[in-house]
Chains A and B, each alone.
Chain A
Amino acid sequence: MIYLDNAATTKVSEEVFEAMKPYFCEIYANPSAIYGFAGKSMKGVDEARGQVASLIGAKANEIYFTAGGSEADNWAIKAVAEANKDKGRHIITSTIEHHAVLHTCQYLEKQGFEVTYVGVDENGTIKLDELKAAIRPDTILISVMAANNEIGTIEPLKEIGAIAREHKILFHTDAVQAYGHIPLNVDELSIDLLSASGHKLHAPKGIGFLYIRNGVKIGSFMQGGAQERSRRAGTLNTAGIVGMGVAAKRAEEHLQANMDKQIILRDYLIERVLSEIPYSRLNGERTNRLPGNVNFCFRFIEGESLLILLDQKGICASSGSACTSGSLDPSHVLLAIGLPHEIAHGSLRLTLSEETTKEELDYTVDELKKIVERLRSMSPLYEDFVKSEKQ
Protein backbone atom coordinates (compact mmCIF):
# COMPACT_ATOMS: atom_id res chain seq x y z
CA MET A 1 0.00 0.00 0.00
CA ILE A 2 1.17 3.50 -0.81
CA TYR A 3 -0.24 6.08 1.55
CA LEU A 4 -0.43 9.53 0.00
CA ASP A 5 -3.14 11.08 2.14
CA ASN A 6 -1.08 12.52 4.95
CA ALA A 7 -3.10 15.72 4.96
CA ALA A 8 -6.09 13.62 6.04
CA THR A 9 -4.13 11.95 8.81
CA THR A 10 -0.70 10.50 9.48
CA LYS A 11 0.64 7.31 10.96
CA VAL A 12 1.52 7.59 14.65
CA SER A 13 5.31 7.45 14.78
CA GLU A 14 6.98 4.66 16.76
CA GLU A 15 8.66 7.20 19.02
CA VAL A 16 5.33 8.84 19.81
CA PHE A 17 3.62 5.52 20.42
CA GLU A 18 6.40 4.33 22.76
CA ALA A 19 6.23 7.56 24.77
CA MET A 20 2.46 7.21 25.15
CA LYS A 21 2.36 3.59 26.25
CA PRO A 22 3.14 4.08 29.99
CA TYR A 23 0.25 6.52 30.28
CA PHE A 24 -2.36 3.82 29.80
CA CYS A 25 -1.66 1.09 32.37
CA GLU A 26 1.14 2.48 34.51
CA ILE A 27 0.96 6.27 34.83
CA TYR A 28 -2.82 6.33 34.71
CA ALA A 29 -3.63 8.79 37.52
CA ASN A 30 -5.80 11.80 36.81
CA PRO A 31 -3.16 14.54 36.55
CA SER A 32 -5.38 16.93 38.53
CA ALA A 33 -5.39 14.74 41.67
CA ILE A 34 -3.50 15.61 44.86
CA TYR A 35 -1.47 12.46 45.61
CA GLY A 36 2.07 11.98 44.48
CA PHE A 37 1.10 9.32 41.90
CA ALA A 38 -0.83 11.98 40.00
CA GLY A 39 2.29 14.10 39.86
CA LYS A 40 3.78 11.67 37.34
CA SER A 41 0.83 12.23 35.01
CA MET A 42 1.07 15.98 35.40
CA LYS A 43 4.79 15.88 34.74
CA GLY A 44 4.13 14.26 31.38
CA VAL A 45 1.50 16.88 30.56
CA ASP A 46 3.76 19.76 31.59
CA GLU A 47 6.65 18.49 29.55
CA ALA A 48 4.41 18.07 26.49
CA ARG A 49 2.99 21.57 26.93
CA GLY A 50 6.50 22.97 26.75
CA GLN A 51 7.36 20.91 23.66
CA VAL A 52 4.17 21.91 21.88
CA ALA A 53 4.71 25.60 22.73
CA SER A 54 8.36 25.61 21.72
CA LEU A 55 7.54 24.67 18.11
CA ILE A 56 5.71 27.99 17.61
CA GLY A 57 7.76 30.17 19.96
CA ALA A 58 4.92 30.37 22.51
CA LYS A 59 4.95 30.13 26.29
CA ALA A 60 3.80 26.87 27.83
CA ASN A 61 0.97 28.61 29.68
CA GLU A 62 -0.45 29.83 26.36
CA ILE A 63 -1.23 26.27 25.19
CA TYR A 64 -4.71 24.86 25.90
CA PHE A 65 -5.16 21.25 24.92
CA THR A 66 -8.33 20.35 23.04
CA ALA A 67 -9.74 17.26 21.37
CA GLY A 68 -8.40 18.43 18.02
CA GLY A 69 -8.25 21.15 15.40
CA SER A 70 -11.98 21.56 14.83
CA GLU A 71 -12.58 22.15 18.52
CA ALA A 72 -9.77 24.70 18.63
CA ASP A 73 -11.23 26.54 15.62
CA ASN A 74 -14.73 26.52 17.08
CA TRP A 75 -13.46 27.72 20.43
CA ALA A 76 -11.27 30.50 19.08
CA ILE A 77 -13.92 32.00 16.82
CA LYS A 78 -17.00 31.56 18.98
CA ALA A 79 -15.32 32.64 22.22
CA VAL A 80 -13.68 35.71 20.68
CA ALA A 81 -17.04 36.68 19.22
CA GLU A 82 -18.77 36.19 22.56
CA ALA A 83 -16.12 38.06 24.56
CA ASN A 84 -16.00 41.03 22.18
CA LYS A 85 -19.60 41.38 21.06
CA ASP A 86 -19.99 44.70 22.90
CA LYS A 87 -17.03 46.06 20.98
CA GLY A 88 -18.17 44.80 17.61
CA ARG A 89 -19.87 42.05 15.68
CA HIS A 90 -17.82 41.84 12.52
CA ILE A 91 -15.44 39.01 11.60
CA ILE A 92 -13.16 38.68 8.58
CA THR A 93 -12.10 35.34 7.17
CA SER A 94 -11.25 33.88 3.74
CA THR A 95 -13.29 31.94 1.20
CA ILE A 96 -10.94 28.93 1.33
CA GLU A 97 -10.97 28.13 5.04
CA HIS A 98 -11.62 24.63 6.33
CA HIS A 99 -15.27 23.95 7.16
CA ALA A 100 -14.40 24.02 10.87
CA VAL A 101 -13.90 27.78 10.37
CA LEU A 102 -16.46 28.44 7.62
CA HIS A 103 -19.34 26.65 9.31
CA THR A 104 -18.48 28.27 12.66
CA CYS A 105 -18.63 31.67 10.96
CA GLN A 106 -21.94 30.76 9.33
CA TYR A 107 -23.25 29.75 12.74
CA LEU A 108 -22.25 33.15 14.13
CA GLU A 109 -23.98 34.91 11.24
CA LYS A 110 -27.20 33.30 12.43
CA GLN A 111 -26.46 34.71 15.89
CA GLY A 112 -26.32 38.26 14.54
CA PHE A 113 -22.64 38.58 13.66
CA GLU A 114 -21.49 39.78 10.27
CA VAL A 115 -18.76 37.94 8.38
CA THR A 116 -16.74 39.12 5.39
CA TYR A 117 -15.26 36.29 3.32
CA VAL A 118 -12.19 37.71 1.59
CA GLY A 119 -11.36 36.19 -1.77
CA VAL A 120 -8.13 34.63 -3.01
CA ASP A 121 -6.18 34.88 -6.26
CA GLU A 122 -5.82 32.06 -8.81
CA ASN A 123 -3.20 30.37 -6.61
CA GLY A 124 -5.26 30.56 -3.45
CA THR A 125 -3.33 33.41 -1.82
CA ILE A 126 -5.58 35.78 0.11
CA LYS A 127 -6.06 39.23 -1.45
CA LEU A 128 -4.50 41.54 1.10
CA ASP A 129 -6.01 44.70 -0.39
CA GLU A 130 -9.47 43.14 -0.07
CA LEU A 131 -8.66 42.15 3.49
CA LYS A 132 -7.63 45.71 4.37
CA ALA A 133 -10.70 47.13 2.69
CA ALA A 134 -12.93 44.79 4.69
CA ILE A 135 -11.78 46.17 8.05
CA ARG A 136 -14.44 48.18 9.88
CA PRO A 137 -14.51 49.93 13.27
CA ASP A 138 -16.53 46.99 14.62
CA THR A 139 -14.21 44.24 13.30
CA ILE A 140 -13.19 42.04 16.22
CA LEU A 141 -11.41 39.11 14.56
CA ILE A 142 -9.47 38.15 11.47
CA SER A 143 -9.23 34.38 10.96
CA VAL A 144 -7.08 33.16 8.05
CA MET A 145 -5.57 29.71 7.73
CA ALA A 146 -1.79 29.28 7.76
CA ALA A 147 -1.82 26.92 4.78
CA ASN A 148 -4.69 25.51 2.79
CA ASN A 149 -5.60 21.88 3.41
CA GLU A 150 -6.53 21.14 -0.20
CA ILE A 151 -4.15 23.07 -2.42
CA GLY A 152 -1.34 23.64 0.08
CA THR A 153 -0.88 27.36 -0.53
CA ILE A 154 0.84 29.11 2.38
CA GLU A 155 -0.90 32.35 3.33
CA PRO A 156 0.96 35.61 4.07
CA LEU A 157 0.54 35.40 7.83
CA LYS A 158 3.15 38.03 8.61
CA GLU A 159 1.36 40.65 6.52
CA ILE A 160 -2.05 39.65 7.87
CA GLY A 161 -0.73 39.72 11.44
CA ALA A 162 0.71 43.20 10.91
CA ILE A 163 -2.58 44.47 9.49
CA ALA A 164 -4.50 42.99 12.43
CA ARG A 165 -2.08 44.46 14.95
CA GLU A 166 -2.23 47.90 13.32
CA HIS A 167 -6.00 47.94 13.67
CA LYS A 168 -6.00 46.30 17.12
CA ILE A 169 -7.97 43.34 15.82
CA LEU A 170 -7.38 39.81 17.12
CA PHE A 171 -5.74 37.45 14.63
CA HIS A 172 -6.55 33.74 14.64
CA THR A 173 -4.97 31.22 12.30
CA ASP A 174 -6.05 27.66 11.62
CA ALA A 175 -2.60 26.06 11.44
CA VAL A 176 -3.80 22.46 11.37
CA GLN A 177 -1.93 21.71 8.13
CA ALA A 178 1.04 23.96 8.82
CA TYR A 179 1.95 23.23 12.44
CA GLY A 180 5.12 21.15 12.48
CA HIS A 181 5.41 21.27 8.69
CA ILE A 182 6.65 24.82 8.12
CA PRO A 183 8.26 27.31 10.54
CA LEU A 184 5.67 29.28 12.51
CA ASN A 185 6.43 31.81 15.24
CA VAL A 186 3.52 33.47 16.99
CA ASP A 187 5.50 36.61 17.85
CA GLU A 188 7.07 37.14 14.44
CA LEU A 189 3.70 36.58 12.76
CA SER A 190 1.67 38.56 15.36
CA ILE A 191 -0.67 35.65 15.93
CA ASP A 192 -3.08 35.92 18.88
CA LEU A 193 -4.76 32.53 18.52
CA LEU A 194 -3.61 29.41 16.68
CA SER A 195 -5.33 26.07 16.19
CA ALA A 196 -3.41 22.84 15.65
CA SER A 197 -4.06 19.12 15.58
CA GLY A 198 -1.86 16.21 16.60
CA HIS A 199 -2.78 13.61 14.03
CA LYS A 200 -1.43 15.66 11.13
CA LEU A 201 2.08 15.28 12.50
CA HIS A 202 2.32 11.66 13.62
CA ALA A 203 0.56 12.06 16.98
CA PRO A 204 -2.74 10.25 17.57
CA LYS A 205 -6.21 11.44 16.59
CA GLY A 206 -8.30 13.21 19.23
CA ILE A 207 -5.68 15.63 20.50
CA GLY A 208 -4.96 19.21 19.50
CA PHE A 209 -4.59 22.59 21.07
CA LEU A 210 -5.51 26.23 20.91
CA TYR A 211 -2.75 28.74 21.48
CA ILE A 212 -4.13 31.83 23.20
CA ARG A 213 -1.73 34.74 23.63
CA ASN A 214 -1.53 35.82 27.26
CA GLY A 215 -3.77 38.83 27.77
CA VAL A 216 -6.29 37.92 25.06
CA LYS A 217 -9.83 38.20 26.36
CA ILE A 218 -11.65 34.96 25.64
CA GLY A 219 -14.15 32.86 27.53
CA SER A 220 -13.99 29.18 28.29
CA PHE A 221 -15.31 26.73 25.77
CA MET A 222 -16.23 23.80 27.92
CA GLN A 223 -17.88 24.37 31.29
CA GLY A 224 -16.89 22.10 34.15
CA GLY A 225 -13.70 21.49 36.10
CA ALA A 226 -10.73 23.78 36.49
CA GLN A 227 -8.45 22.07 33.97
CA GLU A 228 -6.42 24.17 31.54
CA ARG A 229 -6.54 27.24 33.81
CA SER A 230 -10.34 26.97 33.93
CA ARG A 231 -10.60 27.60 30.21
CA ARG A 232 -11.18 24.08 28.96
CA ALA A 233 -12.86 21.69 31.37
CA GLY A 234 -12.48 17.94 31.06
CA THR A 235 -10.00 15.38 32.35
CA LEU A 236 -6.76 15.79 30.47
CA ASN A 237 -6.10 13.26 27.71
CA THR A 238 -2.76 12.43 29.28
CA ALA A 239 -1.53 9.85 26.78
CA GLY A 240 -2.66 11.95 23.81
CA ILE A 241 -1.01 15.07 25.23
CA VAL A 242 2.26 13.23 25.82
CA GLY A 243 2.10 11.89 22.26
CA MET A 244 1.45 15.35 20.89
CA GLY A 245 4.44 16.67 22.84
CA VAL A 246 6.82 14.08 21.44
CA ALA A 247 5.45 14.63 17.93
CA ALA A 248 6.05 18.38 18.31
CA LYS A 249 9.57 17.76 19.60
CA ARG A 250 10.36 15.47 16.66
CA ALA A 251 8.88 17.97 14.23
CA GLU A 252 10.96 20.80 15.68
CA GLU A 253 14.19 18.80 15.58
CA HIS A 254 13.69 17.66 11.99
CA LEU A 255 11.71 20.58 10.58
CA GLN A 256 14.27 21.79 8.06
CA ALA A 257 15.43 18.31 7.03
CA ASN A 258 11.86 17.07 6.55
CA MET A 259 10.98 20.16 4.55
CA ASP A 260 14.03 19.84 2.31
CA LYS A 261 13.38 16.16 1.65
CA GLN A 262 9.69 16.55 0.95
CA ILE A 263 10.11 19.60 -1.26
CA ILE A 264 12.47 17.66 -3.53
CA LEU A 265 9.99 14.78 -3.79
CA ARG A 266 7.01 17.11 -4.16
CA ASP A 267 8.64 19.02 -7.00
CA TYR A 268 9.67 15.78 -8.68
CA LEU A 269 6.06 14.56 -8.52
CA ILE A 270 4.72 17.86 -9.89
CA GLU A 271 7.27 17.84 -12.70
CA ARG A 272 6.52 14.28 -13.76
CA VAL A 273 2.73 14.66 -13.70
CA LEU A 274 2.61 17.96 -15.55
CA SER A 275 5.05 16.81 -18.23
CA GLU A 276 3.70 13.28 -18.71
CA ILE A 277 -0.06 13.69 -18.36
CA PRO A 278 -1.62 16.02 -20.92
CA TYR A 279 -4.32 18.51 -19.87
CA SER A 280 -3.30 18.38 -16.23
CA ARG A 281 -2.80 21.41 -14.04
CA LEU A 282 -1.34 22.07 -10.62
CA ASN A 283 -3.65 23.80 -8.18
CA GLY A 284 -2.16 26.18 -5.66
CA GLU A 285 0.99 28.23 -5.51
CA ARG A 286 3.88 26.51 -7.34
CA THR A 287 6.61 27.00 -4.72
CA ASN A 288 5.04 28.76 -1.73
CA ARG A 289 3.10 25.64 -0.76
CA LEU A 290 3.24 23.01 1.96
CA PRO A 291 6.28 20.77 1.45
CA GLY A 292 4.15 17.62 1.27
CA ASN A 293 1.18 18.83 -0.76
CA VAL A 294 0.33 18.46 -4.42
CA ASN A 295 -3.09 18.98 -5.94
CA PHE A 296 -3.86 18.39 -9.60
CA CYS A 297 -6.81 18.70 -11.89
CA PHE A 298 -7.13 16.39 -14.86
CA ARG A 299 -9.50 17.74 -17.45
CA PHE A 300 -12.39 15.60 -18.76
CA ILE A 301 -12.40 13.16 -15.85
CA GLU A 302 -14.08 13.02 -12.49
CA GLY A 303 -12.32 12.69 -9.14
CA GLU A 304 -14.14 9.80 -7.51
CA SER A 305 -13.58 7.38 -10.40
CA LEU A 306 -9.92 8.30 -10.28
CA LEU A 307 -9.71 7.61 -6.55
CA ILE A 308 -11.41 4.21 -6.81
CA LEU A 309 -9.03 3.10 -9.55
CA LEU A 310 -5.99 4.37 -7.63
CA ASP A 311 -7.25 2.49 -4.58
CA GLN A 312 -7.37 -0.69 -6.64
CA LYS A 313 -3.68 -0.18 -7.36
CA GLY A 314 -3.01 0.18 -3.65
CA ILE A 315 -2.67 3.96 -3.67
CA CYS A 316 -4.51 5.95 -0.98
CA ALA A 317 -5.28 9.45 -2.20
CA SER A 318 -8.09 11.96 -1.93
CA SER A 319 -9.80 14.39 -4.22
CA GLY A 320 -9.66 17.25 -1.78
CA SER A 321 -10.66 17.26 1.81
CA ALA A 322 -11.59 13.97 3.48
CA CYS A 323 -14.10 15.99 5.50
CA THR A 324 -16.15 16.74 2.39
CA SER A 325 -16.00 13.39 0.60
CA GLY A 326 -19.63 12.70 1.55
CA SER A 327 -20.67 15.72 -0.45
CA LEU A 328 -21.32 15.86 -4.18
CA ASP A 329 -20.37 19.50 -4.55
CA PRO A 330 -16.99 20.30 -6.02
CA SER A 331 -14.42 21.76 -3.65
CA HIS A 332 -15.16 25.30 -2.47
CA VAL A 333 -11.42 25.94 -2.59
CA LEU A 334 -11.10 25.02 -6.26
CA LEU A 335 -14.15 27.12 -7.13
CA ALA A 336 -12.65 30.01 -5.10
CA ILE A 337 -9.46 29.96 -7.19
CA GLY A 338 -11.65 30.31 -10.27
CA LEU A 339 -11.85 26.80 -11.72
CA PRO A 340 -15.03 25.91 -13.62
CA HIS A 341 -17.17 23.15 -12.13
CA GLU A 342 -16.27 20.41 -14.62
CA ILE A 343 -12.54 20.91 -13.97
CA ALA A 344 -13.02 21.26 -10.21
CA HIS A 345 -14.70 17.82 -10.23
CA GLY A 346 -11.52 16.17 -11.48
CA SER A 347 -9.10 17.01 -8.71
CA LEU A 348 -6.57 14.78 -6.99
CA ARG A 349 -4.70 15.58 -3.79
CA LEU A 350 -1.56 13.62 -2.96
CA THR A 351 0.08 14.44 0.36
CA LEU A 352 3.47 13.10 1.36
CA SER A 353 5.07 12.34 4.70
CA GLU A 354 8.61 12.01 5.94
CA GLU A 355 8.42 8.33 4.98
CA THR A 356 7.36 8.81 1.35
CA THR A 357 9.89 7.53 -1.19
CA LYS A 358 10.70 8.36 -4.79
CA GLU A 359 9.87 4.76 -5.77
CA GLU A 360 6.39 5.16 -4.36
CA LEU A 361 5.86 8.34 -6.35
CA ASP A 362 7.17 6.73 -9.54
CA TYR A 363 4.74 3.84 -9.18
CA THR A 364 1.93 6.31 -8.48
CA VAL A 365 2.62 8.42 -11.56
CA ASP A 366 2.92 5.32 -13.76
CA GLU A 367 -0.46 4.05 -12.60
CA LEU A 368 -2.01 7.51 -12.69
CA LYS A 369 -1.10 7.91 -16.36
CA LYS A 370 -2.91 4.69 -17.26
CA ILE A 371 -5.94 5.52 -15.16
CA VAL A 372 -6.34 9.04 -16.55
CA GLU A 373 -6.05 7.66 -20.08
CA ARG A 374 -8.64 4.97 -19.37
CA LEU A 375 -11.15 7.41 -17.86
CA ARG A 376 -10.66 9.85 -20.72
CA SER A 377 -11.33 7.10 -23.25
CA MET A 378 -14.81 6.76 -21.77
CA SER A 379 -15.47 10.46 -21.18
CA PRO A 380 -17.96 12.26 -23.44
CA LEU A 381 -16.21 15.53 -22.57
CA TYR A 382 -12.93 14.21 -23.94
CA GLU A 383 -14.69 12.89 -27.06
CA ASP A 384 -16.15 16.36 -27.70
CA PHE A 385 -12.77 17.95 -27.07
CA VAL A 386 -10.96 15.65 -29.50
CA LYS A 387 -13.61 16.28 -32.16
CA SER A 388 -13.37 20.03 -31.71
CA GLU A 389 -9.57 19.86 -31.96
CA LYS A 390 -9.83 18.02 -35.30
CA GLN A 391 -12.00 20.73 -36.82
Chain B
Amino acid sequence: MYSEKVMDHFNNPRNVGELENPSGVGTVGNAKCGDIMRMYLDIDDTGVIQDVKFKTFGCGAAVATSSMATELVKGKTIQEALEVTNKTVMEALDGLPPVKVHCSLLAEEAIHAALWDYAERNQITIEGLKKPVEDIEELEHSET
Protein backbone atom coordinates (compact mmCIF):
# COMPACT_ATOMS: atom_id res chain seq x y z
CA MET B 1 0.00 0.00 0.00
CA TYR B 2 2.76 2.47 0.93
CA SER B 3 6.05 3.20 -0.86
CA GLU B 4 9.34 2.22 0.76
CA LYS B 5 10.08 5.86 1.50
CA VAL B 6 6.75 6.30 3.28
CA MET B 7 7.43 3.19 5.36
CA ASP B 8 10.94 4.42 6.14
CA HIS B 9 9.65 7.79 7.38
CA PHE B 10 6.87 6.09 9.31
CA ASN B 11 9.25 3.65 11.00
CA ASN B 12 12.05 6.15 11.55
CA PRO B 13 10.34 9.51 11.69
CA ARG B 14 12.79 12.43 11.52
CA ASN B 15 12.49 15.35 13.93
CA VAL B 16 9.79 13.96 16.23
CA GLY B 17 9.22 15.91 19.40
CA GLU B 18 8.74 19.42 20.74
CA LEU B 19 10.86 22.59 20.89
CA GLU B 20 11.10 24.32 24.25
CA ASN B 21 11.06 27.90 23.00
CA PRO B 22 9.81 27.74 19.44
CA SER B 23 9.64 30.76 17.15
CA GLY B 24 6.34 29.47 15.85
CA VAL B 25 3.96 26.55 16.41
CA GLY B 26 1.14 25.43 14.15
CA THR B 27 -1.47 22.73 14.72
CA VAL B 28 -3.75 21.65 11.89
CA GLY B 29 -6.28 18.94 11.14
CA ASN B 30 -9.02 17.58 13.32
CA ALA B 31 -9.69 14.42 15.22
CA LYS B 32 -12.87 13.88 13.26
CA CYS B 33 -10.96 13.19 10.05
CA GLY B 34 -8.39 11.29 12.07
CA ASP B 35 -5.27 13.39 11.59
CA ILE B 36 -3.73 16.15 13.69
CA MET B 37 -0.28 17.59 12.98
CA ARG B 38 1.71 19.99 15.10
CA MET B 39 4.85 21.65 13.78
CA TYR B 40 7.40 23.59 15.85
CA LEU B 41 9.86 25.96 14.14
CA ASP B 42 13.00 27.59 15.44
CA ILE B 43 13.79 30.51 13.13
CA ASP B 44 16.95 32.62 13.59
CA ASP B 45 17.36 36.38 13.08
CA THR B 46 18.24 35.95 9.42
CA GLY B 47 14.97 34.10 8.76
CA VAL B 48 16.52 30.64 8.46
CA ILE B 49 14.74 27.65 9.96
CA GLN B 50 17.40 26.30 12.30
CA ASP B 51 15.36 23.53 13.84
CA VAL B 52 11.98 21.89 13.36
CA LYS B 53 10.03 19.27 15.30
CA PHE B 54 6.65 17.66 14.86
CA LYS B 55 4.03 15.59 16.59
CA THR B 56 1.30 13.79 14.70
CA PHE B 57 -1.84 11.87 15.54
CA GLY B 58 -2.75 9.93 12.46
CA CYS B 59 -2.19 7.13 10.02
CA GLY B 60 1.10 5.94 8.54
CA ALA B 61 0.92 8.50 5.75
CA ALA B 62 0.26 11.33 8.19
CA VAL B 63 3.37 10.48 10.17
CA ALA B 64 5.49 10.06 7.03
CA THR B 65 4.35 13.34 5.43
CA SER B 66 5.04 15.26 8.64
CA SER B 67 8.47 13.71 8.91
CA MET B 68 9.31 14.47 5.27
CA ALA B 69 7.98 18.02 5.58
CA THR B 70 10.31 18.70 8.51
CA GLU B 71 13.28 17.44 6.48
CA LEU B 72 12.33 19.62 3.53
CA VAL B 73 12.15 22.85 5.53
CA LYS B 74 15.05 22.36 7.92
CA GLY B 75 17.90 24.75 7.15
CA LYS B 76 15.77 26.64 4.64
CA THR B 77 14.73 30.28 4.58
CA ILE B 78 11.11 31.19 5.20
CA GLN B 79 10.60 31.88 1.50
CA GLU B 80 12.12 28.51 0.58
CA ALA B 81 9.91 26.79 3.15
CA LEU B 82 6.86 28.39 1.59
CA GLU B 83 7.74 26.70 -1.68
CA VAL B 84 7.37 23.28 -0.05
CA THR B 85 3.92 22.23 -1.23
CA ASN B 86 1.94 19.07 -0.72
CA LYS B 87 3.13 17.94 -4.14
CA THR B 88 6.77 18.42 -3.10
CA VAL B 89 6.16 16.29 -0.03
CA MET B 90 4.35 13.62 -2.02
CA GLU B 91 7.04 13.44 -4.68
CA ALA B 92 9.76 13.21 -2.05
CA LEU B 93 7.94 10.20 -0.61
CA ASP B 94 7.57 8.51 -4.03
CA GLY B 95 3.83 9.08 -3.98
CA LEU B 96 0.88 8.32 -1.69
CA PRO B 97 -2.24 6.19 -2.16
CA PRO B 98 -5.11 8.39 -3.46
CA VAL B 99 -7.06 8.22 -0.18
CA LYS B 100 -4.00 9.55 1.66
CA VAL B 101 -3.27 12.63 -0.46
CA HIS B 102 -4.99 14.79 2.18
CA CYS B 103 -2.13 13.94 4.56
CA SER B 104 0.32 15.82 2.33
CA LEU B 105 -2.04 18.80 2.28
CA LEU B 106 -2.05 18.67 6.04
CA ALA B 107 1.77 18.67 6.12
CA GLU B 108 1.93 21.75 3.88
CA GLU B 109 -0.69 23.42 6.02
CA ALA B 110 1.19 22.58 9.23
CA ILE B 111 4.29 24.42 7.93
CA HIS B 112 2.14 27.41 6.96
CA ALA B 113 0.40 27.43 10.33
CA ALA B 114 3.72 27.45 12.18
CA LEU B 115 5.02 30.26 9.94
CA TRP B 116 1.80 32.21 10.49
CA ASP B 117 2.27 31.89 14.22
CA TYR B 118 5.86 33.11 13.87
CA ALA B 119 4.69 36.12 11.83
CA GLU B 120 2.02 36.98 14.38
CA ARG B 121 4.42 36.73 17.31
CA ASN B 122 6.83 39.05 15.53
CA GLN B 123 4.14 41.27 14.02
CA ILE B 124 5.49 40.87 10.53
CA THR B 125 3.93 39.93 7.23
CA ILE B 126 5.35 37.04 5.27
CA GLU B 127 4.81 37.64 1.61
CA GLY B 128 2.75 34.92 -0.04
CA LEU B 129 1.58 33.37 3.26
CA LYS B 130 -2.16 33.12 3.73
CA LYS B 131 -3.88 32.53 7.05
CA PRO B 132 -4.03 28.76 7.38
CA VAL B 133 -7.40 27.04 7.51
CA GLU B 134 -7.97 25.16 10.72
CA ASP B 135 -10.01 22.38 9.25
CA ILE B 136 -8.29 20.40 6.52
CA GLU B 137 -11.66 19.27 5.17
CA GLU B 138 -12.37 22.84 4.09
CA LEU B 139 -9.07 22.86 2.25
CA GLU B 140 -9.84 19.64 0.40
CA HIS B 141 -13.28 20.82 -0.57
CA SER B 142 -11.98 24.14 -1.83
CA GLU B 143 -9.51 22.32 -4.08
CA THR B 144 -12.02 19.92 -5.60
Name A378's contact: one of B31, B33, B55 (CB within 8 Å): B55
Name B31's contact: one of A342, A382, A383 (CB within 8 Å): A342
Residues 265 to 307 of chain A near chain B (Cβ within 8 Å): 300-302, 304-305
Interface residue B118 (Cβ < 8 Å from any Cβ of A): no
Interface residue B36 (Cβ < 8 Å from any Cβ of A): yes
Report the minimum CB–CB distance from A281 to chain B (whole Å). 16
Taking a contact as CB atoms under 8 Å apart, the answer to whether A305 and B31 are in contact is: no
The digit string for B12-39, where 1 denotes a CB below 8 A from any CB of A, is 0100111000000001000111111110
Interface residue B63 (Cβ < 8 Å from any Cβ of A): yes
- Of all chain A residues, the one with the shortest Cβ separation from B102 is A328
Are A378 and B32 CB-contacts (below 8 A) given A305-B63, A326-B99?
no
Residues 32 to 64 of chain B near chain A (Cβ within 8 Å): 32-38, 54-60, 62-63
Interface residue B11 (Cβ < 8 Å from any Cβ of A): yes
Interface residue A379 (Cβ < 8 Å from any Cβ of B): yes
Taking a contact as CB atoms under 8 Å apart, the answer to whether A378 and B11 are in contact is: no
Taking a contact as CB atoms under 8 Å apart, the answer to whether B16 and A304 are in contact is: no
Interface residue B10 (Cβ < 8 Å from any Cβ of A): yes
Name A380's contact: one of B32, B34, B38, B59 (CB within 8 Å): B38
Interface residue A330 (Cβ < 8 Å from any Cβ of B): yes
- Of all chain A residues, the one with the shortest Cβ separation from B56 is A378
Taking a contact as CB atoms under 8 Å apart, the answer to whether B55 and A379 are in contact is: yes
Are A330 and B60 CB-contacts (below 8 A) given A308-B10, A378-B16, A380-B27?
no
Chain A residues within 8 Å of chain B by Cβ, number: 21
A37 to B33, CA, bound (A): 59
Name A312's contact: one of B11, B34, B35 (CB within 8 Å): B11
A97 to B111, CA, bound (A): 41
- Of all chain B residues, the one with the shortest Cβ separation from A307 is B60
Name B34's contact: one of A326, A345, A378 (CB within 8 Å): A345
- Of all chain B residues, the one with the shortest Cβ separation from A378 is B16
A301 to B27, CA, bound (A): 16
A377 to B33, CA, bound (A): 21
Are A305 and B34 CB-contacts (below 8 A) given A312-B11, A326-B99, A328-B99?
no
- Residue among A300, A302, A382 facing the most chain B CB atoms (10 A cut-off): A302
Interface residue A381 (Cβ < 8 Å from any Cβ of B): yes
Report the minimum CB–CB distance from A302 to chain B (whole Å). 5
Taking a contact as CB atoms under 8 Å apart, the answer to whether B34 and A330 are in contact is: yes
Residues on B with beta carbons closer than 8 Å to the beta carbon of A341:
31-32, 34
Residues on A with beta carbons closer than 8 Å to the beta carbon of B60:
304-305, 308
Residues on A with beta carbons closer than 8 Å to the beta carbon of B32:
341-342
The digit string for A333-370, where 1 denotes a CB below 8 A from any CB of B, is 00000001110010000000000000000000000000
- Residue among A345, A382, A383 facing the most chain B CB atoms (10 A cut-off): A345
Closest 3 CB pairs of A and B: A342-B31, A304-B59, A380-B38
User: Which chain B residues have a beta carbon within 8 Å of chain A's beta carbons?
Assistant: 10-11, 13, 16-18, 27, 31-38, 54-60, 62-63, 99
User: Which chain A residues have a beta carbon within 8 Å of chain B's beta carbons?
Assistant: 300-302, 304-305, 308, 312, 326, 328, 330, 340-342, 345, 377-383
Q: List 22 A-B contacts (CB under 8 A).
A: A302-B35, A302-B62, A304-B60, A305-B10, A305-B58, A305-B60, A305-B63, A312-B11, A326-B99, A328-B33, A328-B34, A330-B34, A341-B31, A341-B34, A377-B16, A378-B17, A378-B54, A379-B56, A379-B57, A380-B36, A381-B57, A383-B38
